[in-house]
Structure formats: structure tokens, C-alpha cells
Structure 1
Amino acid sequence: MKKGFVSLLAVASIMVGILSLSVVSASASNVKRVSASYVKKYGIKHRFYRLTKNTKASIYYYVNEPGTNQDALTRRANISIPKGTVIDSQSTGSKNGKKVLYGTGVDLSYTLKHKLLGNNRLVGGPTFAINYSANTVRIKRPGYMLPYGNNVLYSGGLTGFSQFGTYDSNAVKLTSNGYVEYYKYTNRRAAENIISAYQKQTVPTSYAKINRSVVRGNVMYLYYGHKLKGVSNSKVRAKGPYQYRLTITNQHTPYQLDNDISASLYAIGNQKFFTFVTVSKE
């Protein structure tokens, strides 16, 4: 296995695999409030880049080993990510003497990954590498991105977080390239792997392209052109790209589980959600 490949999978394990470890130690009784300063110091932060040209990349994905529940088979595909795509990179490295951006945090949209990979299997989160060049321009955090975490919100609020690993939670994912996706919980392993150990789907139940985002205080409004099934969104226009609005409210109430992983509580419409804002210290 190539060195660059090993490095990328190691980085990916920090953001995805570490959540799998947390399932084992989760307890419903050891949840406590943490301060905003704690989240600011230890929170999962991101660096966003916009591609100014079509950019070659290597994307890695797992396929289920036939006849088992293991994700033992790993594949690499060479792709070209379209000009204008916004990507997240939390880690950099080098390969063949060139600086490389590793994408292992905020995901790309299902539609883009499906288009790029064709009939290949999809990884639950972003695992790709691109050469850092003039094609990649650092930008501010897009308005449709949350301040901390990997931008996957799980249903259940504080109850869901306190029962992490056992609570049947649906998920809302906000992607770096501007999609909102809804994943209905299923106890069945999806054919295209998993979004995490906690939410076993990679194929969204519904999704929409975000055409506008507005942030006012602790509330984020997302606008798109058709109804997003599974969440409480509002129809605010008769037609056009801003027909529906999704309201995401940061309740500014971070909690920590077992003195370990932390989450922030959100509301989407009248539904309670949480999102991980710090990873396990183990």
C-alpha cells in the first residue's frame, strides 16, 4: 500500500473511526454541560477551499466484503472535481514532493460523489486527496456551514446524544459544496457502506441544492427549490429557487459525554438535533 494512501486513511480514522470507538463507551448517565470557551478551544474546525479549475483528485472508498458485514475492501479512483466546488481540508501532507490537501471532514454531496465515481461504491464520508496548487483558493467558512463539527446533525437532541450508539437517529448533512441531505435511520447496512457507525446510510432519503443561506444571530436559514422530505421545512414562495426554507437554530448548549466527546444542541424547525463538536480524546 502506498505511503500517501496510508496517511489519508490514518487521517480519515481520526474523524470517522474515532466515533466508532465512542459507541463502546457511551453512557446515558454521564452527560454534563461544557462552556463555549471549551468548544472554541477544542472544537473541530475546518479550512475551506474553492477550486478555480477542474482539479484532478484521488478519492478513496470502501466496499463491503462479500458475505460479511466488514468494510475490508478499499479502492481508489482517479477523478476530476469540477471548477467552483467548495471542499474542506483539515489536513495537509506531501506526495511525490507536492503539497496535498486531504479531505476527511465535511463531506461532498452524494450527487457529486455518485457522478464522479459512477457505479463504484461510495465512502460514508469524504476521503480524497488533491494536489495543493493555484487551483485551490482558501475561502471563509460558507454561510451554510456550522461553526464546529463535520456538519452532520443527528435527531434526538440531548436524549439522542446521551444514548449515543443505541438511539435510532435520523441525520441531516450539510455538504461543503452546498447541499442539504436527509438520511432516514435504518438498522440495515446500506449497500454503499455507512455514513458513520451511528447512522448506517450513505444514500440520502432526500436532498436539495442550497440556493441561498442567511445567518441571523444563532439562526441559519437555508433556501432551496423543492420540498425536502423528512424535515420540517416551510414553503415561503410559490415558485423559483427559494420556494422552501429550512430553519436551523443553534441553541448554544454544548454537552459532554463521559468527560469525552462533546456535542452542541440544535433545532431544525420543531425537531431536536445534536452535532458533534469535539472528538474523543482517546
Structure 2
Amino acid sequence: MLKVIALLSLLVALGGMFPRTAMAKSYQIGGHEVQDYELNDYKYYKVKRATPVVLLYADKTKKTRQLPKGTVVIGNKFKGSAVEKPAISFYLGQLDYKFLNKGRPKNVELLSTSGTIGSKRPQDYQRIARPAYLPALSLGTLRQMKFTTNPNQDNQVHSQLKVTSNGFAEFTRFKNPNAVNGNQRPQFQEKIQKATNRGNTRQFYFAKKVPGWGMKRVHQSGKLKYRLTVVNQHRPFRTAGDPDDPNALFWSRYTVGGKTLVTIIGQA
């Protein structure tokens, strides 16, 4: 299995933890009929008060961090049952790099970023509409990729824009496109000061410019000086699985500052 596809499909597979009712709708993607339930269905929550989460490290140590009030997470609430208490599970790895790695023991990997984390206080999380900065059906990671049909070669990943659930844009260029660590430190991290979403186009506004990403200066001062345009091309496509992982993946194409980036939107 291609390493990059395996890494990305892990996040999608974990989405299976989140229940979804099958719908009658279907779509044509890459000449294949895709059922509505095969596409991602994420829900969004805002933390109503400072709430603790536990981070797990490779040396088996744990650290408790506080999610600040107002933090947005992607996840799902469980109402509970006669034998299970209510809970919420969310994608910890979609928070920003600095939050996840503050206080991390030196040279020790943070394990829990690729999965979900549970909380026994679902009442601390309020359901909200999808924020304007987050793309539909996506966890927010968009990559500039070159796909290959050779099972002995990896897809190449040249750069990445990760839009975190708590409103940061993290920009990463990979020195080795054939061996990518999706959790490496981004070269640039900027707070999205404002986001608009009209039709196919999102506009992100920043106080500082990130070089090489086609940002346009629109104001001379203030926190909204630079604008990054993100356009959904509405040209989804499908990549087939292989013997190691037969599941097909579905992708959306976006134009980000003139570059074409892709993001996973579902899995067969």
C-alpha cells in the first residue's frame, strides 16, 4: 500500500466510529456510483468552558492539556444507553501543531494525533454549524500531490495546507515528496483572522503573509492585511485500492493561491 494513502485512509477509517444513516442519494465520481453514506459526515462542536484532554506519548507518558473555551473540534456525541454513559469523541489531530506539541517530551512522538479521543463530559461541547474556514466533507488537510499507478512507488506529496479545526492555517513544504510525515512541524502557522464562504470560494484573511502561497495584500494595516483564495473545483475523483488495502478513496480538488490541492472526502 502506498504510504501516503495508508496515512490518509487511517483518518478516514476512523470516521467509521461516527454513526451515519444511509441516504438514498448517490453520485458519480470517476465513473463510479458513490453512495451518500460513503462520503464523510463530520460534525462540529465548540467547547463551552475550558476542558481537559489527555495526550498520549510513545514512551507511555501522558499529559493533560486544557482545551480553551471556544475551541472548535470535529467529532460526534454519543447519547449513551442503559449500559453506556454519554460521551463525545473527536479528532485530536485536527487541532493546531503548537497546541498538540507544547510540553512534548524531547524526541518522543505524540501518538494520539492520528486517532480520536473521548471525553466523558459531552455537555461541555456545543454542536455548531461547520465553520466557514473548513472545507465540506474534509478534515481540513489539503495536499499538493502527484499520484502514481505503480504499486511499488509512493504518491508524491510536495506541500500541504492544514486548516485546523480551531482556526489556524499551517503551511508545510516537504523536502522529500516520497517520504512524508504528515505530523511534522509546519514551516508557517498563521491564525485565520476571518473566513468567508460564498459559492465555490472561500477567502481566508491573515495578519501576516506566507510566502509562496499566492496571498494578496488587501489592506495596509490591521489583522486582515492578506487574503488567500481557496476555490472548490467541484471535480471529485476516485483512487482505487490495492491488495493491501482494497478500499477506494474519494477526493476533492481545490485551487489554493493558484495551486491545485486535494483532500479526502470519503472511502468506499
The match for 1:182 is: 171
1:17-71 per-residue CA deviation (whole Å, 9 max, x = no partner) reads 78xxxxxxxxxxxxx7257x8374421121111111111222234x4xxxxxxxx
Give the equivalent residue in structure 1 for 2:236.
Answer: 254
Q: TM-score, normalised by structure 1?
A: 0.71
**Offset of residue 184 of structure 1:** 1.2
| CA deviation profile, 1:98-129 (whole Å, cap 9, x unmatched) | 43322237600112223365766435546433
Structure 2 gap ranges (5+): 1-7, 15-28, 242-247
Q: How far is 1:132 from its partner?
A: 3.1
**Equivalent of 2:74, from 85, 88, 98?**
88
Pick from 246, 252, 256 the counterpart of residue 268 of structure 1.
256
* 1:124-179 deviation line (CA, Å, top 9, x unaligned): 546433223331111111110110122110113xx447689331321100000000
2:111 is the alignment partner of 1:115: no
Name the CA distance, whole Å, in 2 between partners of 1:91 and 1:198: 32
| 1:221–1:245 CA contact under 8 A, matched in 2 | yes
> In 1, are the aligned partners of 2:142 and 2:262 still within 8 Å (CA)?
yes
Name the residue aligned to 1:4: none
Structure 1's 137 and 118: CA in aligned 2 closer, same or farther, altered over 3 A?
A: farther
**Relative to structure 1, is the Cα distance of residues 212 and 118 closer, same or farther in structure 2, using a 3 angstrom cutoff?**
farther
| 1:229 paired residue number | 211
Aligned CA-pair RMSD: 3.3
- Contact 1:187–1:200 (Cα < 8 Å) also in 2: no
- Are positions 1:46 and 2:42 aligned together? yes
**Residue pair 1:225, 1:244 contacting (<8 A) in 2 also:** yes
Q: What does 1:141-156 correspond to in 2, within 5 Å?
A: 141-156=130-145
Mean Cα displacement is larger for which, 101-110 or 114-123?
114-123
> Please, which of 16, 20, 30 is the counterpart of residue 33 of structure 1?
30
Letter matched to residue 166 of structure 1: N
Structure 1 position 14, deviation (Å): 4.3
Partner of 2:11 in structure 1? 15
Partner AA of 1:54 in structure 2? A
Cα distance in 2 between the residues matched to 1:275 and 1:202: 18
Contact 2:88–2:118 under 8 Å retained in 1: yes
Q: 1: CA distance between counterparts of 2:129 and 2:253?
A: 24
Equivalent residues, number: 235
More strand by share: 2
Q: Is the 8 A contact 2:9 2:249 kept in 1?
A: no
Q: How does 1:132-171 map to 2 (within 5 A)?
A: 132-156=121-145, 159-160=146-147, 165-171=154-160
The 2-side partners of 1:80 and 1:105 are apart by 12
Q: Percent identity?
A: 23
CA distance in structure 2 between the aligned counterparts of 1:202 and 1:93, rounded to whole angstroms: 35
Kept in 2, the 8 Å contact 1:79–1:117? The answer is no
CA contact (8 A) 1:233 1:269 kept: yes
What is the identity, as a one-letter code, of the residue corresponding to 1:185?
F
Which structure is richer in relative contact order (CA contacts within 8 A, separation 6 or more)? 1
1:203 alignment partner, SS class: coil
Opposite residue 266 of structure 1, the aligned amino acid is Y
**8 A contact 2:55–2:65 mirrored in 1:** yes
Q: Which consecutive aligned stretches of 4+ in structure 1 deviate over 6 angstroms post-superposition?
A: 161-164
Q: Take 2:46 and 2:198, find their aligned partners in 1: how far apart are those partners? A: 24
| Rounded Cα–Cα distance in structure 2 between residues aligned with 1:117 and 1:98 | 31
Match of 1:60 among 43, 56, 63: 56
Q: Relative to 1, partners in 2 of residues 1:229 and 1:111: Cα closer, same or farther, differing over 3 Å?
A: farther
Secondary structure (helix, strand or coil) at the match of 1:171 reads: strand
Mapped partners of 1:187, 1:17: distance in 2? 26
Deviation at 1:207, TM superposition (A): 1.2
How far residue 240 of structure 1 moved from its aligned partner, in angstroms, is 0.8
User: CA, structure 1 residues 150+133, in 2 after alignment: closer, same or farther (shift >3 Å)?
Assistant: closer
